[in-house]
Chain A
Amino acid sequence: MSAPKTVRLTIDGRAVEADAGTNVLRAAEKAGIAIPHFCFHPGLDVEGSCRMCLVEIEGLPKLELACSTVVREGLAVRTTTERVRRARRDVLEFLLAEHPLDCPICDKAGECRLQDYYDLHGRHPGRMLEPRESRAKKVPIGRGLILDRERCVLCTRCVRFLRQVTGTGELGVFERALRSEIGIFDGTPVDNRYAGNLVDICPVGAITSEDFRFRTRAWFLTRRPSICPHCSRGCAVSVESRAGYPLAEGERRVYRIAARENPAVNGFWMCDLGREGRRDIEAGRLSVPLRQGRPDPGLSWTEAAGEAAAAIGRIPAGERGEKTAVVLNGRLTCEELARARASFVDGLGCRNIFFADSRPGRADGPLLTAERTPNLRGAVAAGFSPRLPDLGELAAARVLLVFGSRLAEHHGGPELARALSGGPRTFLFAAHAGPLDGLAEMAVPVAVPAEKSGTYINIDGLAQAFDRSLEPAPGGPAEGAVLEALARGLGLDRGGGDGR
């Protein structure tokens, strides 16, 4: 494919270059000129119905839609003229005339296009004396989504998403004129694994998620970019957390995870499994270090790493490679895996290196892969051949280092207990609690992916670096720090490590 042809046009007198085939709205956006819009979404077909993006185009008598006008050489677009401003204000006046103005109890407040655009382009007094239409305000439409028909501006992004992206088509527009409303067909609810995107793309508070409704306000949230760790697609996500307050009952660290645009991987979307990943960050965490299965708040991870290194050191030098076993996992970053390889394979000559991860699921087509771990490609790139250990291989070791809690998903608790009792001295470094906790000599909490920085290689071989999107839970280091401490304890430290 040849490179797209470039077209030169002017927007508000500024010379702008755009790829042939793009619309005026996107070309302006790229040049830093925001044209307000509700129905247009770059991931969906052009609808042209909200009429908010009307602009002036030199030589044309009427205002034209920035969303449906394709750029042409020499096109002269104006977005700030009195006619354009007047049109924007009129469209907003129409929308707000039938809007409930319940921003104080609306979850979209603070990130609502209608609210933002009124502030920027409206600022008109209300002129409608007649009562507004009253409509259903909490219609469950499936997958934990709630539809508020009074807030809906009928942009049909939700309808188009379900037709054009998932192909499931659960939502439609019913009735006509002012009676038009979004709804499901004959009681058949929205039922697909991408439904959460409807909340992201709804430009107003018409579709909200039960998981988020009434929990916090958008302006309290800190949004940080991250990579979803729940399958090997590596979707770009935004981790939205609330920091700076002590956690009271009912409060969360992470209020939601939303999709972030990445044309190379996920476009604009993510799956619901990834969104539910917010629970993985908070729920089921190993919160207190354990010694012989009993909580020991005084046990630090540095002590655990030091003890583990010392235990390996006590194995006669010639047998260390043979008698040490390590269970890694696909949530470790490329950097952590490289460190693990340097220490255990290159340093100790260890041959017993295994991987334990979530069981594979089914790939569902659009994004979700069968692999439910983010960095198995990274493990391969680091020179590992990931495979599960059998119990005999674990029992034969004198020292066993386990990273992650997933081993217990593959071997039952009693079997693991039998294999490990009287066998290896076991050290566990895990973000989540599990049956292994009680079997290890020491078990200390570590970070989840959102709490660390590094690189993941996705199913298509794309390496994506990411930064920590969340302050780690106190005392929960990234495995990278643990691996570094182990290397130091084993006398294998090569310096240059990242203490996190």
Chain B
Amino acid sequence: MPETAAALLPADEAGWRLEDYLRRGGYGTARRVVTTMAPGDVLAEVRQASLRGRGGAGFPAGAKWGFVPQGGSGPRYLCVNADEAEPGTFKDRLILLRAPHLLIEGMIIASFAVGIRNAFVYVRGEYGPAVRRLEEALAEARAAGLVGPGLFGTDFGLDVVVHRGAGAYICGEETAQLESLEGRRGQPRVKPPFPAVVGLFRSPTVINNVETVATVPGILARGADRFLGLGLPKDGGTRLFCVSGAVRRPGVYELPVGTPLREIIEVHAGGLPEGARLKAVIPGGLSAPVLLPGEIEVRMDVESLARAGSMLGSAGIVVIAEGTPILDVLMATARFYAHESCGKCTPCRIGTSWILKIVGRLRAGGGAPDDLDLVAGLAEGIKGRTLCPLGDAAALAIGAMAAKFRGELERAVAR
């Protein structure tokens, strides 16, 4: 699929500038959309493409846009989620570095479809070079009249503000991101109301992941059916799979939705290094329950992974080779969630840190097999009880590790 690969993620950063992007036909789709299409038709096209959100939850983007109430005179906002913080995920950073104008073009189209005049990009605090690249690209676009009032000779305009986060995982959660954007502590809000109805500054707000928005111009350029045909009927197109860990060629691979996990690991990422044997795969960022070697025939789409008891999440594939103690993996995982829990709701705040305390004790050699039951039980106590999905994520990731590697963990604890 060389054509689509080039369409979403260029091979390097060389051609990020506006002049290069324009030479490749950049902003042509936005121009055509804004000058010739009705917003409702744009929305219909995105719905037709079965574009699922690329951030983690996999919610259909067209449906999300459609939740924004029609009419009304107040402002609406677009918030592009560039807080990419899920361990094992590094695709949005590459989009920002290599194709910032593709993202901006996507923002124009999405905003036009939903009737938005003000957009924000919430960029992860650690992404210094990426945020500078985006700012530069925005300056270019503004100077060229591609961002600002009266785009393409119409009365449609779009203003874009880049906001840099402070490095909290929770700010990738959409309502926490809105709180943070509004200047408060980044902590999730109770839903409903959903952001599409009551979002940023109490106004209807669309929050989409960077990749989701950057995928939109391609859909409008080549048509929804073409996009849909690349992937699966209910999960269209291609997506960026981030492969890291024990593979020969770690990196970001743009592949059709539904590509088998084994193919991504063995063909695209070059398989495991010489002599290494596969032990486990985390298929969709750390929060996705771990898969065993016998489970990697699974196709990489939202529904297939859900059926396999895991999730596609952010499509961050972490490959773990034999020889890596699972207790170490569990420890790193527990430490991450205990550190990043925002602390707002009880089960996540106390549950994740309690689990970390136990796992730390196990690793220090002070455990008993019962402790594994306790870890599993505490994960159950978190699951389904928290304010935002990140509690579930912690519980599922930890619970799956504790369950699937029970034997190894028991042996490790007994030593």
Residues of A within 8 A of B (CB): 46-52, 54, 62-63, 65, 68, 87, 90-91, 93-95, 97-98, 127-130, 153-154, 172-173, 175-180
Contact = CB atoms under 8 A, between A and B. Distances in A.
A127 B374 CA distance: 8
Nearest to A70: B192
B203 interface: no
Nearest to B342: A176
B353 interface: yes
Nearest to B352: A177
* Size category, B interface: 20 to 34
25 contacts: A49-B344, A49-B387, A51-B347, A63-B385, A87-B385, A90-B380, A91-B347, A91-B385, A94-B347, A94-B349, A94-B350, A97-B354, A129-B361, A130-B357, A177-B340, A177-B341, A177-B342, A177-B343, A177-B349, A177-B352, A178-B338, A178-B350, A179-B343, A180-B344, A180-B349
Interface of B: 168, 170, 185, 190, 338-347, 349-354, 357-358, 361, 374, 380-381, 384-387
Given A51-B385, A128-B357, A178-B341, 10 more contacts: A51-B387, A63-B384, A90-B347, A90-B380, A90-B385, A95-B346, A129-B358, A154-B343, A154-B346, A177-B339
Contacts of B347: 51, 90-91, 94
Contacts, number: 89
A179 B343 CA distance: 8
A127 B370 CA distance: 11
B31 to A, nearest CB: 44
B343 A178 contact: yes
A90 B351 CA distance: 10
Question: Which of B168, B338, B357 counts the most chain A CB atoms within 10 A?
Answer: B357
B384 A68 contact: no
Given A48-B387, A176-B168, A178-B349, A94 B343 contact: no
Nearest to B343: A180
Contacts of A94: 346-347, 349-351, 354, 381
B346 A153 contact: yes
Question: Which of B170, B343, B361 counts the most chain A CB atoms within 10 A?
Answer: B343
B350 A98 contact: yes
B381 A130 contact: no
B350 A95 contact: yes
A interface majority secondary structure: loop
B interface majority secondary structure: helix
B336 to A, nearest CB: 11
Contacts of B349: 94, 154, 177-178, 180
Contacts of B357: 128, 130
Nearest to A131: B357
B361 A130 contact: yes
Contacts of B346: 49-52, 91, 94-95, 153-154
A175 B361 CA distance: 25
A176 B380 CA distance: 22
Contacts of B168: 176
Contacts of B341: 176-178
A153 B339 CA distance: 18
A180 B353 CA distance: 12
B351 A68 contact: no
A62 B388 CA distance: 13
Nearest to B368: A129
Contact of A130 (B340, B345, B358, B386): B358
B189 to A, nearest CB: 8
Nearest to A46: B190
A479 B340 CA distance: 64
Contacts of A130: 354, 357-358, 361
A86 B157 CA distance: 53
Contacts of A154: 343-344, 346, 349
A97 B350 contact: yes
A277 B137 CA distance: 65
Contacts of B185: 172-173
B166 to A, nearest CB: 11
A126 to B, nearest CB: 12
A65 B385 contact: no
Given A177-B339, A180-B349, A65 B361 contact: no
A68 B345 CA distance: 14
Nearest to B392: A62
Contacts of A98: 350
Contacts of B340: 176-177
B290 to A, nearest CB: 23
B252 to A, nearest CB: 30
Nearest to A92: B346
Nearest to B190: A48
Nearest to A61: B384
B222 to A, nearest CB: 38
B343 A47 contact: no
B195 to A, nearest CB: 15
* The 10 A-B residue pairs with the shortest CB-CB distance in the complex, in nearest-first order: A180-B343, A48-B190, A90-B381, A178-B353, A130-B357, A94-B350, A177-B341, A49-B345, A68-B190, A177-B343
Nearest to A175: B343
A177 B186 CA distance: 12
B394 to A, nearest CB: 11
Nearest to A179: B343
